[in-house]
Amino acid sequence: MIHLKTSEEVQIMAEGGKILATALKEIEKMAKPGITTLELDRAAEALILKHGAKPAFKGYEGFPYSLCASVNDVIVHGFPSNYRLKEGDIVGLDLGVLYKGYNTDMAVTVAIGEVSFEARRLLTVAKKALRLGIKKARAGITTGDIGNTIQRYIEDQGYGVVRDLCGHGIGKEVHEEPQVPNYGDRHKGTVLKEGMVICIEPMVTVGSHMLKRAKDGYGFATKDGLLAAHFEHTVAITKDGCKVLTEI
């Protein structure tokens, strides 16, 4: 069942989204060679609590941390650990906030120091795919329209689009209906309506889109071991179009 949000609920989610974006921006600045992903997790939790919110992911479906930290070939849901980030790595930072009973969700993938041309281009393409998906989102179009826009751009750039995971609705629960795939056919799927709040989150691979369980047993990694990137925003469908809730 899809839960439409009132303007008051969207405003609460925008407040939570601002807390989330502020925290994630600070974590992004900290993501440099030598720091562990566990240190990033602890800093993320402290920043969220400092602003009067709670980590949305901690305890969700057994996840024991506040931050998902996904390094190199890990696409999403990576466990923070004592692994020290090193020059040339890329790391996906996925964070959620629970504020006044409502969740928001956001992700960025960050280059650690100087990275390869291929890694830099991957991040550029994944980030633009998110922008294109957000630009497409408005009342009256379908989730298939968003997915088709994202898929066509990514594949035109020579990259793969993950099929096994997708974006989603969000609100009082971290994951709500509808599903928002990053691929699909125009005019198919769920029709977006004013009051919907969804997460758009392209997941892009250098090689095959096929996934496997990551070594931590929780996250997902590319089956061929090649790099992957993930960007995400929480957006509200309004009468005026699409409003990004997870930005400063």
**Binding site for a divalent metal cation, residues?**
94, 105, 168, 201, 232
Q: Which residue, among 176, 177, 146, has the nearest Cα to 161 in the 3D structure?
A: 146
Instruction: Check residue 102 and report its DSSP letter.
Output: E
Strand order from edge to edge, sheet including 74-76: 74-76, 220-222, 211-213
Q: Which residue, among 174, 216, 228, 176, has the nearest Cα to 54 in the 3D structure?
A: 174
Q: Which residue, among 18, 227, 237, has the nearest Cα to 106 in the 3D structure?
A: 18
Annotated binding site for substrate: 77, 175
- Residues 46, 184: Cα–Cα separation, whole Å: 39
Q: Are strands 220-222 and 233-238 parallel, antiparallel or unpaired?
A: unpaired
- Residues 47, 171: Cα–Cα separation, whole Å: 21
- Residues 151, 159: Cα–Cα separation, whole Å: 9
User: Could you tell me how far CA 122 lies from the centroid of its own chain?
Assistant: 15
DSSP character string of 175-236: SEEEEE-SS--TT-SPBP-TT-EEEE--EEESS---EEE-TTSSSEEETT---EEE-BEEEE
Annotated binding site: 77, 94, 105, 168, 175, 201, 232
- Residues 19, 31: Cα–Cα separation, whole Å: 19
- Residues 216, 81: Cα–Cα separation, whole Å: 9
